[in-house]
Structure formats: C-alpha cells, structure tokens
Amino acid sequence: MSKALVKNINFNLLIMFLRLAVLFIMTPILIRNLGDHNYGIWELTISIIGYMGLLDLGLKSSVTRYIAMHISKKEYNKAALVLKISLIFMAGLGGLGVLICILLSIYYPQLLSESGGNITYYSYFLLIIAVSTFLIFIKTAIESTIDGLQKYAYKAKITAPILITVNCFIYNYINDENALFVLAIAGVTTTFLRLTLFIVFLKRHYAYLFKSELAIEKKYVYELLIFGVKSFIQNAAAKIQKTITPFLISFILSPAHIVTYTIVQNLFTHKDNIQANLTQPFLPYFSASLNQIKNDFYCRASKMILAFTLPINIGILMLGEEFLTLWLGGDYGARAYLLLILLCFANIIATIDPLQNRLLSAQNKHGIYAKLLPVMLVIQIILNLLFIDLYGVSGVGITLLCSSMVFPFILLHFRCKSQNMTVLHYFKNSVIPLLFPLILMALTIYVMKSQVYNLGWKELLSILMLSSCIYIIGLYCVALTTIEKRDLQVKIRPYLGK
C-alpha cells in the first residue's frame, strides 16, 4: 500500500481510539451529572440528529467519491461544482433542522421536561441544538470534501486537540444543574471550530473549489443524487436493522431482555467501527485510481485489514463471556454466551470482504446493496419473529447467522465478478493465510484459560497480551509473503531508529 494510504489509515485509527478513550472516561461523569432523565434526553438528541443525517440521501459518500475522481482527472471546475451543490443541499437540510428545533423550542419544550420541570431550560437547550444542527450539516459537506482530497492527516490534527480541549472544558465545568447546557455548548463549539478550520484549510490550499460563478447543471445534480440514493438505501437498511431488533425483543419477550442483546451487539459495533475506520480512506483512493486497481493489491490490502480485525473476533469469542462478567458483574456473561458465539460467527462471515463496499461505491456499482439489503432486512424481521419466540434472545443470533450464510456471499461473488476475480482466488490470497495464526491464537487463549481458576482483570489482560504476541509471530512467519514482510520492515524501520 502507498505511504499516503497507510498514513490516512493510521490517523483515522488514532482519532477513533481517542474517541473511545474519551467515551470511556466521560460516560460515568455524564451519567452522574445529567441524571437518568437528562442523560436519556441527551442520547435521544444525538440519535435524532444522527437519523436526520439520513436526509442527505447519501450525498456525503457522493461528495467524497466525485471530489476524489475529479481531482485525479484535474477536472477542477467539476470538483468545485460538487462542493457547491453539496453546500446548497446541506444548507437546506440544516435550515429544516433549525426550523424543527425552533418550533419545538417555542411550542413543545415540555416534551423534554419531567413533570413539574423547568420548561424554559429545555426551550433554550433546543435553541442551541438548532444552531448545532445547521453547523453539522454544513460541516458534513466540507468534511466529505476533505475526505475526497484524502487529507485525513490534517483532519486528525485538527480534531484531536479540539476533542481533548472541549472534553476538558466539560470535565471542569459540568454539574447537575448545567449539564445539558454545557454539553450543547461544547457540541456547538466543537462543530464550529472544526468547520472554520476546515474551510480555512480548503480556501488556502484549494481555493478553486469555491468558484461561485459556476452554473449548477441539473443533469449533474441528478447524477450525484442517484449515486447518493444507493448509499442512502444501504445506510437506512442498516439503521432500521439495528433499531428494530431491540423493539422485536421487547415485543416478543420483554424490555428486560434487550440489555443482553445490546451489550453483546455493542462489542461487535466497536469492532465494526474499527474496520470502518481502517477502510474509509480506500473510498477516495479507489475513486482516484479506478483503472489502476489490481487484484493483487486488493487482496493484499484486504488481508492486512482482516489481519487486524479477525483477532478481535477471536478475542470476543474466546474471552467475551469472562469480559462481560468482570465488567458488568452478575450473570451477564453466562446469559449472553450463546448469543455471543452466534453473533461472532455471523460478524466474521459478514465482514470477510472488508473493502467490498468501498470498491463498489468507487465503481458506482453499489446499487446492488440498494436491491439486496431491503430484501435481507425483511427476511431478518420474519426470521427474528420466528426464532426469538422459539429460542429467546439467542434467536437474534440464529437469524443473523442464517442471513450471513447467504447475502455476504452473493455480494462477494458480485464484487469478484466486477474485478474478473474468482472467489477462490480471493480466499486463497486474503483469508486462508490468516487461518493458522488465528487458530494458534485461539489455542493459546484456550490453554491459558484452562490453567486459571479465578480469572480477573490481570489474568484477562495477560492472556490477551500473550495470545496477541503468539498471533503476531504466527502472522509474520506463516501468513505474510516475502513482499509483505519487506514492506512491513520498511514501514517500521523508522520507528526502530534504523
């Protein structure tokens, strides 16, 4: 892989791990100061803003793809047109969000308030959220442009200090009386600072993107929206699937059973987020070099990503029960054990071709998701209705495992066909070489667990560290080719001072 691509991946991972660290530290503080009611309001606000993001009709991925493609072809006017269209569209959506928040602030602030609570408090909170909503939509257009330019390093260098500074502000000034206001103001400040610095960067280095005299072509707007709608359907199906599963569990069993599913699903959500951050820089990279993507490069890149993510699945599979027991106490680990196994295998199969979505989107062939995922969603709902009633929460795992036996392989076959590659060639070069080190890691965990009778945090971390070392040795000695070893040595040599 190119140095620029590796650099982008590294900076993406840096920001993701920083966000996880901040989340780990700040969540108890937020819960303590917000209280149950206001914490629920804050989470609901974040969720609603997230769902409003679906209104962009997938334009975010359109901007990233078309900016990268036009810049690579030196079509600077078309790149500027993409940014202009996206800003106008996002400003319209942001204006709609502002209008909704203002109407709620004036007429329905009591919807957020507890019985007898201070309605004015929530009215002002909604006004701050109105400003934040508008800025978020504008930032989406600008940030997608920076992604298309493959400037992830700059984005990380801006995001990291702002993230740390704003959360230090929250830590020092939050209390149980001002918690919602502090969080809302911190959110607006973060978005405004990032947006301002992104615009300054673009105007300084890519001033041609801000040509205001360009006429908007209806045909081009249509092309952007058609591309975006395909991504929209894909994202909407994923959102609905995640949202409807807890509802079905609550409807068929009871709300008390949701927690078992949620705590297990969150483990795989974090793993999927890691994989998404690893693969995100590939969309603009593929878009900028559509005719230069070789099968060997695709297989090597996929293997490197799977070499990073599949050990996480092994760790969750082998130590997930013990981790949940230590982390949450009680019998959460034992209750979630079968579901954890089922979801683990379903997740492995579903993510076995990690760059698939990025490549098909770059090729404008991701319409297959728009056709296939709604069908998969309907089938999953039907199977969940059947299996949850028969097997309880574990029925969700059975449903996902069944669907993973079909749909991911249809997509894999479609992607391989688009590259004139066989499925066997992909598995032979990207997946099979990783089996030995993964089995070695699993055996190491199994043997070490059998020698420990009272597993605590210290023992858990020791098992993880040793099994990871064994995995890395097996990966280097068996899974990597001579070329991959040489590339790895070149990349790590500067860090070793050689």
Same domain, 297 and 177: no
Q: What is the pLDDT of residues 391-407, one digit of tens each?
A: 988 999 999 999 999 99
pLDDT at residue 495 in the model: 47
Residue 223 falls within a domain, yes or no?
Answer: no
3-state secondary structure (DSSP) of residue 212: coil
Residue 222 falls within a domain, yes or no?
Answer: no
Q: What is the pLDDT of residues 451-460, one digit of tens each?
A: 887 888 888 9
Rounded Cα gap, residues 144 and 250, in angstroms? 37
pLDDT at residue 249 in the model: 84
Contact 396, 340 (CB under 8 A): no
Is residue 214 pLDDT above 80, yes or no? no
pLDDT at residue 237 in the model: 78
Same domain, 452 and 397: yes
Contact 153, 7 (CB under 8 A): yes
CB proximity list for 318: less than 8 A, separation 6 or greater: 442, 445, 446, 449
For residues 411-418, give the mean pLDDT.
92
pLDDT at residue 221 in the model: 78
Q: What is the pLDDT of residues 329-359, one digit of tens each?
A: 777 778 888 999 999 999 999 999 999 988 9
pLDDT at residue 51 in the model: 66
Rounded Cα gap, residues 317 and 306, in angstroms? 16
pLDDT at residue 44 in the model: 73
- Between 138 and 212, residue with greater pLDDT: 138
Domain that holds residue 254: 228-498
Count CA atoms closer than 13 A to 242's CA, side-chain side.
Answer: 13
Is residue 494 pLDDT above 60, yes or no? no
Q: What is the pLDDT of residues 470-481, one digit of tens each?
A: 999 999 999 888
Helix residue ranges per DSSP H, 206-293? 218-252, 258-279, 282-288
What is the DSSP track for 391-448?
A: HTTHHHHHHHHHHHTTHHHHHHHHHHHHTT--HHHHIIIIIHHHHHHHHHHHHHHHHH
461 burial (CB, 10 Å; 0-12 / 13-18 / 19+) is exposed
Mean pLDDT of the chain: 85
Is residue 439 pLDDT above 90, yes or no? yes
Q: What is the pLDDT of residues 171-187, one digit of tens each?
A: 898 888 888 889 999 99
Q: What is the pLDDT of residues 146-162, one digit of tens each?
A: 988 888 888 888 999 99
Same domain, 255 and 205: no
Neighbours of 428 (CB within 10 A): 12
Q: Which of 285, 297, 401 is nearest to 343 (CA)?
A: 401
pTM here is 0.78
Residue 416 falls within a domain, yes or no?
Answer: yes
Contact 62, 228 (CB under 8 A): yes
Count of domains forming the chain: 2
pLDDT at residue 219 in the model: 77
For residues 481-496, give the mean pLDDT.
69
Same domain, 310 and 196: no
Same domain, 152 and 250: no
